[in-house]
Amino acid sequence: MLLDAFGAAIGEAARRLDQPGGILLAVSGGPDSLALLLAAVAWRRTAGSSHLPIHVATVDHRLRRESAAEARFVAALSAQHGLSHATLPWGEPDVRGNLSARAREARYGMLLSHARRHDLGLVLAAHHCDDDVETHLMRRSSGADLLTAAGMRRLRWLGPDVLLGRPFLDLSRDRLAVAVAAEGITAVDDPSNRDQRYHRARIRLALAAEPRQYSQAQRDLARCKAARDRGEQALADALAQLEATERLHFAEDGAIVVERSVFAEMSGRCAAHLVSRAVVAAGAGTAPPSGNAVREVLGRLQPGGAEQGVRSLGGALLAITSTQAVFMREYGRSGIAAVSLAETTRMRGEPGMGWPAVFDRRFVLDVGPWREIAGTRLVPLGSLGLGGHRSRCLPVLLDAAGRPHAAMGAAAMRLGRDVAALDFKLLTPHLLKRDLPPPTCLISPQP
């Protein structure tokens, strides 16, 4: 059963990746992730010489004294099976605020960087159906709508070049634990999984005490997933038509421009979905705006409305004119984080670029000609005190002395003739359509 699930995940990912490269297993040492490792070993035996390279990584959050020893345990087990292993330490754990959310973001960021460094197009995690139900209940308890409460995806984009797969979403926690125990392996026991200070642990305890609640949650989750599938197919079809008829387009500075009348013509749910995704894509965000904020924006976009101007929403700016809604990056009080060329990892799948690097989630830039210059970094134009609402968020490449060598688009023209134009690719189309299904019909563009 584990082997079949693992093989199915590999097959599905291979159909979506032009160049799979290899596989990275996220293994903590707990029973779930050890089941993933064992399934990978079994799959490699059946695949023979045609198998993809398999690497193992353990993220050490350094939040418990035992974590380093647990990583060594996984390294030793990986070596027994002839698999390459790396421990990825969280550099400076910050225990303030929502620790779980920050640890999760750091974990996926480290896994993505490691995958790129070793040309691995697929990261696999051992989340199972019990995790999925818990995630659903956590989101519903925080007021999430049907789409947001649809839980985990079997396959999603971790970055524009790397997929995250979850082969075990149809299997239970107990089923994975039995598979590991049958191999005579004692898994790591993480006491934080039972720590009632954490929301997930409290939900887990409540579900264990009331099986009927678990069954109801499974049914509710299935309905949410079906609703998400329908909604995302409708949005994929709508986006294909809007692009073909040029009523939605992607500006070179990363902005998303939509005809204002589009939102009135869509169903309310589809329009809300478009606004939410456009805010995340144009604003380089990681989480959608609240439902109330999206409904307020849709109210302002209604036909005949006099609402015009610029407002902030979830890291993006929305500029409303009489005919258009323009979603763009908000510079923000703290600006946009700089990227050191010495520390950036090469993005996969851009053969036309010498060294493709991601800036602010929204652009892939070819920084190859400047990587050997000491201290080079990418910064937003606004950090130099230049630019308007849109251009101040464009990338500029500086050396250690702060001299600009290259910049993107309008920023290069602003900085003078000696500043080269960066070769770039927009990621906003990917971000807007991320994880959507293909449109059901192809629409020819207007002549």
CATH of the domain at 98: 3.40.50.620
CATH of the domain at 313: 3.30.465
Q: Which of 71-80, 125-134, 192-201 has the lowest mean pLDDT?
A: 192-201
| Residue 231 covered by a domain | no
Which pLDDT value is given to residue 95? 61
Query: How far is it, in rounded angstroms, from Cα 199 to Cα 213?
Result: 17
| Residue 391 covered by a domain | yes
Which pLDDT value is given to residue 443? 57
**Separation in Å, CA 397 to CA 38, 219, 340, 366, 386:** 45, 52, 10, 11, 14
Q: Does the structure show a pLDDT above 70 at 230?
A: yes
Summarize the confidence of residues 21-42 as an average pLDDT.
97
Of 295, 330, 365, the one marking the end of a domain is 330
Do 129 and 203 reside in the same domain of the chain? Answer: yes
Do 91 and 199 reside in the same domain of the chain? Answer: yes
Do 209 and 351 reside in the same domain of the chain? Answer: no
Choice between 434 and 196, residue whose per-residue pLDDT is larger: 434
Summarize the confidence of residues 133-142 as an average pLDDT.
91
Q: Per-residue confidence at 447, pLDDT binned at 50, 70, 90? A: very low
Which pLDDT value is given to residue 152? 97
Average pLDDT over the chain, rounded to whole? 92
Q: Does the structure show a pLDDT above 90 at 244?
A: yes
| Residue 439 covered by a domain | no
Residues in Cβ contact with 115 at an 8 Å cutoff, skipping those fewer than 6 apart: 24, 121, 122, 123, 158, 162
Give the number of C-alpha atoms closer than 13 A to the C-alpha of residue 24, restricted to the C-beta side: 27
Owning domain of residue 251 = 245-330
Q: Does the structure show a pLDDT above 60 at 446?
A: no
* 155 within 8 A of 123, measured Cβ to Cβ: no
Do 91 and 177 reside in the same domain of the chain? Answer: yes
pTM check: above 0.85: yes
Do 283 and 366 reside in the same domain of the chain? Answer: no
Do 16 and 98 reside in the same domain of the chain? Answer: yes
Do 316 and 188 reside in the same domain of the chain? Answer: no
Q: Per-residue confidence at 386, pLDDT binned at 50, 70, 90? A: very high
| Residue 229 covered by a domain | no
| Residue 18 covered by a domain | yes
Do 375 and 289 reside in the same domain of the chain? Answer: no
Q: What number of other Cβ atoms are within 10 A of residue 12's Cβ? A: 16
Residues in Cβ contact with 337 at an 8 Å cutoff, skipping those fewer than 6 apart: 360
Q: Does the structure show a pLDDT above 50 at 102?
A: yes
Closest residue by Cα to residue 140 from 217, 219, 228, 206: 217
Provide the token pair at 149.
């409460």
Do 326 and 358 reside in the same domain of the chain? Answer: no
Summarize the confidence of residues 40-44 as an average pLDDT.
94
Q: Tell me the pLDDT tens digit for each residue of 273-324.
A: 999 999 999 999 988 998 889 999 999 998 766 678 899 998 899 999 999 9
Q: Per-residue confidence at 329, pLDDT binned at 50, 70, 90? A: very high
- Which residue's structure tokens are 């500086």? 398
Of 308, 330, 352, the one marking the end of a domain is 330
Q: Which helix (H) or strand (E) holds 292?
A: helix 291-300
Summarize the confidence of residues 19-24 as an average pLDDT.
93
Number of domains in the chain: 3
Q: Tell me the pLDDT tens digit for each residue of 85-94.
A: 999 999 876 6
Which pLDDT value is given to residue 91? 81
Do 366 and 277 reside in the same domain of the chain? Answer: no
| Residue 235 covered by a domain | no
Do 172 and 303 reside in the same domain of the chain? Answer: no
Do 143 and 92 reside in the same domain of the chain? Answer: yes
Of 330, 351, 366, the one marking the end of a domain is 330
**Separation in Å, CA 201 to CA 143, 153, 193, 195, 197:** 19, 21, 6, 6, 8
Which pLDDT value is given to residue 144? 78
Q: Tell me the pLDDT tens digit for each residue of 398-416.
A: 999 999 999 998 899 999 8
Q: What number of other Cβ atoms are within 10 A of residue 60's Cβ? A: 19
Q: Does the structure show a pLDDT above 80 at 98?
A: no
| Residue 129 covered by a domain | yes
Q: Tell me the pLDDT tens digit for each residue of 251-272.
A: 999 999 999 999 999 999 999 9
| Residue 93 covered by a domain | yes
